[in-house]
A and B are shown apart, each in its own frame.
Chain A
């Protein structure tokens, strides 16, 4: 049998399908999905209220999604906002620093290990798992926890002194696998994580800061396209960003699906990116990554970031930029062979030196033009006199790190930097 025979065989086999009118069934399913979503929103709202009542430290927040407050009162990622307009006083700049986490393949094709690494030290293995684990593992911003899926459960491990033989280090687990296309997402303060059961219409929020982990259900957009971010620090500000297959990007509150800002349409096909799925979102949702495919066999479920978008528009801005740079942040990206980066923080001389071959985005902020983004290979010296394109650098908050070079690093996936 040849490939042509195979094609003909498939066509003959497909012809065995009996035509059926599915119109009414589809409509009923659609309505049922809508009803379940509404119920989930109510459940999530109640859970959030309970969380508030039992005293989780949300007192510094004016409002909470899902508690009936008017959307206009909430902190929003608004096209007209300046970059520091969030109501809780937090800066939208996601702080990443010092310790890098990455996944590298090792031993066998289905064996992966999460390593942490800091300059001047050897990489430290944190925990290991199979492909499903590697495709999902997400390190909390403070570096304390790792949330991940396996083939039959979702779990959160405490990495502080993690011992694989000690079941107590797994601080949360739920039966049933997670959705392979939606990795867990942490709040910026590491107090909660959102995970996605594979066969559910809702997402599961796990709150970790109040002793025993507490679960709550949240709204979940259709499909597997959502990226989760927090527009404040904690569980009260979870939100989703997602792109549909026609390139429409929406930012929605996770509590009730209320749009946080107007949807934007990006002609992803024309730009050479994949519509239908975002590759990632910054922790505050201010930037989302459009997807492009890369030949990274080891971890195929995570597309790389090809361009960035914000509620303000597409920002594949190349340097030089106008204005004064006031901050810089790396977003997670795929490191390919040949990528390297080195740096030292402001307290170490203030140099950022980078040379990336692909998919690493530097996020910079100017004093007069909000956030801009560049994919770049350049050196920046800290200090008011340093020129960065046409702009003057007055400060930067963040740096990249040089990775060590274990044998399998070419297939490593950068997970996060933590303080």
Chain B
């Protein structure tokens, strides 16, 4: 069953905040997150008559694909600047805001695919198989990217030393 064209407006209003939160984690920046969601919504608009059942799933997948596969590197690298493996200074007594800021800086040091894997696995709480399906890669790739991402986060944030002790 195709999604009625008239529902696009309603869909955008209902789901944009959710999509923006994910995009914010993927890009690390409000404006880039808006651009990413906007691009995904635009493609959904063009294909709206062909989208069956789950427009949210379609837009979400499109967003990841745009971020990871096609649209990604230039803007992210502009924003990231030079990457580093030096530990990010962490305050002795961290507030929630401090932790967010440190985490944001650490995420920025990950590659696009590593960041996408982290967001899918630990923000959306997706399984390895689901993550592989969204990113169109093998489960082995998801596992290796997860391990690399967590290893890098641990390197950047010594307080995350326990990260690799959990599931991959």
Could you mark each residue 33-64 of chain B with 1 if its beta carbon is under 8 Å from any beta carbon of chain A, else 0?
11001110111111100111100011001100
Q: When each residue 164-205 of chain A gets 1 if its CB lies under 8 Å from chain B and 0 otherwise, what string results?
A: 000000000000000111000000000000000011000000
Contact A13 B50 (CB under 8 A): no
Chain B, range 119-150, C-beta contacts under 8 Å to A? 119, 122-123, 125, 132-133, 136-141, 144
Q: Which residue from A10, A276, A293, A303 sits with its C-beta under 8 Å from B122?
A: A10
Of A1, A2, A25, A245, the residue contacting B38 (CB under 8 A) is A25
The answer to whether the Cβ of A30 comes within 8 Å of any Cβ in the partner chain is yes
The 8 Å CB contact of B138, one of A12, A15, A25, A296, is A296
Does A54 sit within 8 A of B, measured CB to CB? no
CA distance A291 to B137 in the complex (A): 10
Interface residues of A (CB under 8 A from B): 1-3, 6-7, 9-23, 25-27, 29-30, 33-34, 179-181, 198-199, 222-224, 244-246, 248, 274, 276-277, 291, 293-297, 300-301, 303
State whether A14 touches B163 (Cβ < 8 A).
no
**CB contact list, B151-168 vs A, under 8 A:** 153, 157, 159-163, 165-167
Bound CA span A222–B104, Å: 31
With A16-B100, A276-B61 as known contacts, state yes or no: A246 contacts B163, CB within 8 Å: no
Given contacts A30-B46, A293-B137, contact A22 B21 (CB under 8 A): no
Number of interface residues of B (CB under 8 A): 68
Additional pairs, 14, CB under 8 Å, beyond known A16-B24, A29-B42: A6-B118, A10-B118, A13-B104, A17-B17, A17-B20, A17-B21, A22-B41, A181-B69, A199-B71, A199-B74, A224-B70, A245-B61, A274-B133, A296-B140
Residues 81-123 of chain B, each 1 if its beta carbon lies under 8 Å from chain A, else 0: 0000000000000001001100110010000000000110011
- A12, A27, A224: the one contacting B69 at CB < 8 Å is A224
Q: State the main secondary structure of chain B at its contact with A.
A: helix
A223 touches B65 (CB 8 A): yes
| Contact B70 A1, beta carbon cutoff 8 Å | no
Do A295 and B140 have beta carbons less than 8 Å apart? yes
Contact status of A223 and B163, CB under 8 A, knowing A7-B122, A293-B139: no
CA distance A17 to B37 in the complex (A): 12
B139 adjacent to A295 (CB under 8 Å): yes
A181 to B165, CA, bound (A): 33
CA distance A7 to B99 in the complex (A): 12
Across the interface, do B12 and A22 meet the contact criterion of CB distance under 8 Å?
Answer: yes
Question: What are 21 A-B pairs at a CB distance below 8 A?
Answer: A6-B103, A6-B163, A7-B125, A9-B103, A21-B13, A21-B16, A22-B12, A22-B37, A30-B45, A199-B71, A223-B65, A224-B69, A244-B50, A244-B58, A246-B51, A276-B61, A277-B136, A293-B136, A294-B138, A295-B140, A303-B136
* Contact among B45, B50, B65 with A26 in the assembled complex (CB-CB below 8 Å): B45
Tell me whether A224 and B65 are in contact (CB under 8 A): yes
A300 to B144, CA, bound (A): 11
Contact present for B39 and A274 (CB under 8 Å):
no
Q: Find out whether the CB atom of A10 lies under 8 angstroms from the CB atom of B16.
A: no
B17, A19: Cβ atoms closer than 8 Å: yes
**CB contact between B43 and one of A7, A9, A22, A223 (< 8 Å): that residue:** A223
Contacts A2-B166, A181-B69, A293-B132 given: A17-B30 contact, CB under 8 Å?
Answer: yes
Residue among B33, B133, B163 making CB contact with A17, cutoff 8 Å: B33
Nearest CB of A to B112, in Å: 10
Q: Is the CB of A1 within 8 A of B24?
A: no
- Give the distance in Å from the alpha carbon of A222 to the alpha carbon of B153 in the complex: 34
- Given the complex, which residues of A lie within 8 Å of B37, measured CB to CB? 22
State how many angstroms separate the Cβ of B140 from the closest Cβ of chain A.
Answer: 4
Task: Return the contact of B119 from the options A10, A18, A276 (Cβ within 8 A).
Answer: A10
Q: Point out the residue from B16, B157, B163 that lies within 8 Å of A2, measured CB to CB.
A: B163
Partner of B25, one of A10, A23, A26, A180: A10
Residues in A with CB closer than 8 Å to B166 are: 2-3
| Alpha-carbon separation in the docked complex, A27 to B46 (Å) | 9
Contact of B167 among A3, A180, A300, A303 (CB under 8 A): A3
Decide: B38 and A180 in contact? CB cutoff 8 A: no
Given A3-B122, A20-B34, verify A33-B138 contact (CB < 8 Å): no
Q: Which residue of B lies closest to A11 (CB)?
A: B123
Chain B residue nearest to A304 (CB atoms) is: B138
Q: Which 5 A/B pairs are nearest by Cβ-Cβ distance?
A: A26-B41, A29-B42, A17-B24, A295-B140, A3-B166
Q: Which residues of A contact B42 (CB under 8 A)?
A: 26-27, 29-30, 33
